[in-house]
């Protein structure tokens, strides 16, 4: 009788672990996890920094246009994933923009499943001068906007 109870306990534990794994997999497949995290805006030394956080490691590849425009397209790579595969699971997402912190910023959209993507699109109400950098934490991208009348490089040297 004792041997049977031990077998059932191990079987029960195995079923609990299997059920937990299935819930985690289905939650990820259903898109419960967003790629985009928070958007933070801070003004310092003649520049406004727009920091876009991600909920996973991200690498900055390139951006277009290079220095100014009313839209910035920032091309990204997610290490350990192949964004060209349909199972990658990233979709289009729109980030919440902090109200009244930088009125010229109208949209932050992540195009996770776009051809040639994934990429991040920042749209502005008027043309802006900008620079883009990889975040030090490898979970963010920073876009630096030159404030009007500022003559030094933006972003400022660390």
Condensed to tens digits (0 to 9), the pLDDT of residues 16-57 reads: 343 433 433 333 444 447 889 999 999 887 899 999 999 999
Same domain, 11 and 65: no
Same domain, 129 and 83: yes
Instruction: Record the pTM.
Output: 0.73
Measured CA to CA, the distance from residue 125 to residue 149 in angstroms comes to: 18
Residue 140 lies in a domain: yes
pLDDT digit string (tens) for 108-119?
999 988 888 899
DSSP assignment of 31-60: T-S-SEEEEEEEEETTEEEEEEEESS--EE
Measured CA to CA, the distance from residue 118 to residue 141 in angstroms comes to: 14
pLDDT-based confidence at residue 98 (cuts at 50, 70, 90) = confident
What domain range is 50 assigned to?
36-146
Same domain, 54 and 118: yes
Same domain, 87 and 22: no
Number of structural domains in the chain: 2
pLDDT-based confidence at residue 94 (cuts at 50, 70, 90) = very high
| Of 10-19, 109-118, 119-128, the least confident | 10-19
Same domain, 117 and 41: yes
Same domain, 25 and 42: no
């Amino acid at each position: 009788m004792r041997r049977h109870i031990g077998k059932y306990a191990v079987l029960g534990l195995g079923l609990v672990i299997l059920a937990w794994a299935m819930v985690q997999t289905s939650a990820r497949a259903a898109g419960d996890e967003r790629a985009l995290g928070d958007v933070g805006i801070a003004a310092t030394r003649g520049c406004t920094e727009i920091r876009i956080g991600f909920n996973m490691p991200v690498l900055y590849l390139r951006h277009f246009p290079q220095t100014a425009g009313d839209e910035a397209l920032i091309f990204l790579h997610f290490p350990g994933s192949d964004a060209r595969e349909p199972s990658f699971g990233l979709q289009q997402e729109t980030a919440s923009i902090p109200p009244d912190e930088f009125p010229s910023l109208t949209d932050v959209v992540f195009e996770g499943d776009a051809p040639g993507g994934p990429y991040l699109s920042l749209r502005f109400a008027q043309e802006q001068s900008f620079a883009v950098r990889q975040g030090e934490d490898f979970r963010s991208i920073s876009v630096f906007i030159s404030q009007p009348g500022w003559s030094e490089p933006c972003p400022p040297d660390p």
